[in-house]
Every structure is written in C-alpha cells, then in structure tokens.
Chain A
Amino acid sequence: MTERRLPPVTEVAAASMVLVIVAVIYLASYLPRRAPLGVAVGLLVASAVLFGVNLMLLARVRDFAWWRFFQVGRWALLAYLVIAGMIEYAFVYDRTRGSVLVVMTLLLVMFAANVPVILAFTVARFQAPRPAAER
C-alpha cells in the first residue's frame, strides 16, 4: 500500500473547522439579536492558529506529491470559494453588518481554506511524489 506515516494534517484541519462551525452556530443561535463577539473571536483565533500549525506541518513534509496536492487544492479552493461566496451573499442580503459581518467573513475564510487542504492532502498522500511523466 502506498500510504505512509504523515503528520496529522486532516485531524488538525478538522479541529480548525470544528471551531469555525461552533462559532457560526454560536452566532446564529442569537439571531436576530447580536451575539457577544468575544467567544466567536476566540474560536476564530484558535481556528486560525490551528490552520497556521497545519501549514507548518505540511511545509515540513518531504518527498510528497505536491504537484497533486496543488492541483486538487486549486480546484477545491475555487469550488469552496463559490460556496463561501454564496453564504457571504446571504449574510449581506440579510443585513448582517459591522463587526458581526467581519467575524462571519473571517470564519468563512477559515472554512474555505481548510476544506481544500483536507481534500488535497487526502488525495496526494496516496500519490507518487512525482508525476508519471517525470519518473
């Protein structure tokens, strides 16, 4: 089997995404009133820290199918930017404004950044480090 030991990128990205989801549920559960932003900002910062840790873990991986990682990651990012754009549109349409909109937007950015990392990493871990044409 071509799978080998790699850092827990999927698990860290999942934890980052869980924090985003909890923050969104927290904010949404207060609607139409404005939720106290402290908890949501804390969750957002924690999520961003985990995302940064994940990028560092990824940067240290050697002999990895980066060509496939970036190929899948690019397209997945495009798809999830469309989805995040739709959700952002709904927020703006529903007159979410000010600091709540900023926090919601940053949470969406974290969501749209984490999913492509998970997809690209899961695909690339089973691929050869170099494309067949170069081998």
Chain B
Amino acid sequence: MTAVAEETHGTQPRPAVPAFSIVPLRGLSFVALAIAGVIAAIASNELWALNFFHVVGGGLWTGIDLFVGFVVGPIIGRMSIPARIEFSTRFMPKMLLLIPTLVTMTLASGFQLARKSGYLDTSYPRHGWIVASFIVVGVMATIALTYLEPANLAVLFELKKPQPDGRVIDKLMKRFVYTAGITGAMQVATLVCMTRLAS
C-alpha cells in the first residue's frame, strides 16, 4: 500500500491517504451480474426471480442504510482524522457501487413484481400502501441522489488530491452519514408499507 507521506502544510499536517481507486473496477463485474440478473428476471417474469431480487436487494439496502446511518456513522464521527480518511478510502468506493446497484435491483424488480401480482391495480384493496411506498421511495431517492451520492463521490475526489482538505472531507462525510441516517429512518416507513402489503 502506497501512502502519501505526512508532511506539514501550513499549520495543518497533511493527512496520509492510502492509494485507492474511486470506482473499484473489480466490483463492476458484480454490478453487471446483478443488473443482468434483474433484466433476466423482468424478461422471464418469473415470480421467484422477481421476489428474489426484490427481497435480497431491499433487505440489503435497508440494512446497510440503517447500519451506516446509526452504527457506522457515529463511530466515524468519533474517529481521528487519519483514521477517518483511511476508513473512507476503503469504505466509500464500495458504497459508490453497492448502493446504486441495490437500489436499481430493488426498485426494478419491485415494480415488476407489483405489476405481475396486481398490486398496482387501483382495485387492489391495499393500493394505498403501494402509493405510500412510491412516495417514501421518491423522497429517499431525492435525498440520496441530491446529497448522499454526490457527497460520496466528492469525498473520493477530495481524497485523491495531493493535499486533501480535512475540513472538506469532514463536511462531506457528515453530509453522507446524516443523509444515510435520514434514508435509514425512512426505510422504517418502507418496512411498514411492505409488511402491510404482505400481511
């Protein structure tokens, strides 16, 4: 592992940043596999496959959001700056691929599942819960695409600089963790909608 040597830059020591790739290229094969699987599930309209991608994707998405927002986030907040940077260089590139893939998996298979099962039909007795889940997902998508993902990406580009600014990283990481917490809390609303549909 190569690291930028710690030097004094003005009054602030330059943090050591391990070498990392913004987009982990090896992970792209898993993303392609997951996306191909979802396309195959939609094309075949196979109930088990649609259920599989929706439940696996949704479970992981919900769990990771809650875990990052309420367990990992507060821990990162108490770490020293060098530890926070080292953690970010290993954690954030993975999140950059993982979360959008899980979201795409969950929503694409979920929509198709709802359509196939007749849940989208306005005559379905619990149609209101379906619309409620659309609204919750819409709010989560807005927060995630406007603040969470951009903060994730911006942190990685800041860490790639020869002299990363600790304050920028701190600000962006706080934004990432807070928005992960908000979407995590909103996942509870999704769980309520989904369990109402399943009961």
Residue of B nearest to A132 (CB): B162
A67 and B152 alpha carbons, distance in the complex (Å): 19
Are A119 and B150 in touch, CB under 8 angstroms? yes
What are the interface flags for A73-117 relative to B under an 8 Å C-beta threshold, 1 for contact and 0 otherwise? 000000100110011011001100000000000000000000100
Are A25 and B153 in touch, CB under 8 angstroms? no
Q: Does A61 contact B (CB under 8 A)?
A: no
Selected contact of A123 from candidates B100, B134, B157, B162, CB within 8 Å: B157
Q: A1-B167, A10-B146, A31-B121 are in contact. Are A90 and B131 (CB under 8 A)?
A: no
Q: A14-B142, A21-B141 are in contact. Are A28 and B150 (CB under 8 A)?
A: no
Closest approach, in angstroms, between the C-beta of B65 and any C-beta of chain A? 18
Q: A29-B134, A83-B104 are in contact. Are A122 and B154 (CB under 8 A)?
A: yes
A92 and B20 alpha carbons, distance in the complex (Å): 40
Selected contact of A2 from candidates B35, B135, B165, CB within 8 Å: B165
User: Which segment of B54-62, B72-80, B108-116, B191-199 sits at the interface?
Assistant: B108-116
Q: Does B158 contact A (CB under 8 A)?
A: yes
Are B153 and A119 in touch, CB under 8 angstroms? yes
Q: Does B138 contact A (CB under 8 A)?
A: yes
Total A-B pairs in contact (CB under 8 Å)?
90
Closest approach, in angstroms, between the C-beta of B67 and any C-beta of chain A? 24
Q: Does A62 contact B (CB under 8 A)?
A: no
Q: A17-B145, A31-B120, A123-B157 are in contact. Are A3 and B168 (CB under 8 A)?
A: yes
8 Å CB contacts to B: which residues of A26-59? Answer: 28-33
**A-side interface residues, number (CB < 8 Å):** 39
Q: Using Cβ atoms and an 8 Å threshold, which residues of chain B touch A125?
A: 154
Q: Using Cβ atoms and an 8 Å threshold, which residues of chain A touch B165?
A: 1-2, 126
8 Å CB contacts to B: which residues of A10-24? Answer: 10, 13-14, 17-18, 21-22, 24
Are A126 and B145 in touch, CB under 8 angstroms? no
A122 and B150 alpha carbons, distance in the complex (Å): 6
A17 and B138 alpha carbons, distance in the complex (Å): 10
Q: Using Cβ atoms and an 8 Å threshold, which residues of chain A touch B115?
A: 31, 94
Q: Using Cβ atoms and an 8 Å threshold, which residues of chain A touch B122?
A: 29-31, 33
Q: Can you list 25 contacts pairing A with B, beta carbon distance less than 8 Å?
A: A1-B165, A2-B165, A17-B142, A22-B138, A24-B138, A25-B135, A25-B138, A28-B111, A29-B131, A29-B134, A32-B121, A79-B100, A86-B35, A86-B39, A86-B104, A86-B108, A89-B42, A94-B112, A122-B150, A125-B154, A126-B154, A126-B158, A126-B165, A126-B168, A127-B157
